[in-house]
Amino acid sequence: MVGGGSIFWNKPLAEKNIIIAKRMKGKVMISYDNHPRVKRACKGLKFKKINHTYILNKRTNNKGKPVTELLITNF
């Protein structure tokens, strides 16, 4: 599953994905922005911070936007 960032946070959809992730017997991996509400919603799952650069919408200086995301797993 790939989640949306804080700009695209769709609470009902995000919560549904997180509930499914917590109930699944297999391995699950979700990516969301590093935001307190994401951490609260995913309580009980494991987190790893990933630093990367968004490059699809480059700024005018031709550099991407550096961001930190959470890689959320149930394993």
Domains held by the chain: number = 1
Residue 65 lies in a domain: no
Rounded-to-integer distance, Cα 19 and Cα 42, Å:
9
- The two three-digit tokens of residue 65, written as one number: 């936007």
Answer for the pair 67, 52: CB distance below 8 angstroms, yes or no: yes
CA distances from 44 to 38, 56, 58, 66 (A): 12, 32, 35, 27
Q: Check residue 53 and give its pLDDT.
A: 83
Higher-pLDDT residue of 57 and 28 is 28
Q: What is the reported pTM? A: 0.69
Residue 47 lies in a domain: yes
Q: Check residue 7 and give its pLDDT.
A: 46
Q: Check residue 71 and give its pLDDT.
A: 92
Residue 45 lies in a domain: yes
Residue 58 lies in a domain: no
